[in-house]
């Protein structure tokens, strides 16, 4: 049987401020500095850190039957070849990536987030 939701729920769910925002941190991408990217069409400041707007997404983060997350693919747009430059200059294997989920209307609350942490084991680049 399908879920029954009222129009108020649907309206609230559709509001931009109630949509999760994903913030990505690639730790020490160059051996020293962190790279902070926001999967949004504007820069985001959260907990004193500025996340630069960037076309970045990731696959659904699911769990196996033991409750562990096997893997996730993160996709970054490479049209300007900026990502290609980073990949040619730095080896990202073993680097820690944090995907932080926050909400637009909760950016002032430093405790309103959920993190998923991964380590890069491989990467590829194409002209897309």
Token look-up 């430093």 returns 110
Domain ranges in the chain are 20-119
Can you tell me the distance from the alpha carbon of 83 to that of 56, in angstroms, rounded to the nearest whole number? Answer: 11
Tens digit of each residue's pLDDT, the chain (128 residues): 456 666 766 776 677 767 889 999 999 888 889 999 999 999 999 999 999 999 888 887 777 777 666 678 888 887 677 777 877 888 888 889 999 999 888 899 998 898 988 898 877 776 65
Confidence (pLDDT) at 2: 57
pLDDT score for 37: 94
Tell me the C-alpha to C-alpha distance, in Å, between residue 4 and each of 1, 8, 32, 51, 104.
9, 12, 50, 37, 26
């Amino acid at each position: 049987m399908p879920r029954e939701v009222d129009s108020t729920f649907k309206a609230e769910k559709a509001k931009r401020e109630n949509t999760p925002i994903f913030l990505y941190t690639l730790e020490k991408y160059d051996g020293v500095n962190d790279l902070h990217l926001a999967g949004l069409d504007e820069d985001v400041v959260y907990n004193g850190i500025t996340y630069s707007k960037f076309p970045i997404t990731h696959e659904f983060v699911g769990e196996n039957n033991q409750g562990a997350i096997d893997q996730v693919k993160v996709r970054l747009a490479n049209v300007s070849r900026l990502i290609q430059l980073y990949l040619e200059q730095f080896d990202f294997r073993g680097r820690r990536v944090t995907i932080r989920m926050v909400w637009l209307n909760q950016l002032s609350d430093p405790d309103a987030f959920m993190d998923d942490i991964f380590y890069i084991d491989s990467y590829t680049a194409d002209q897309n």
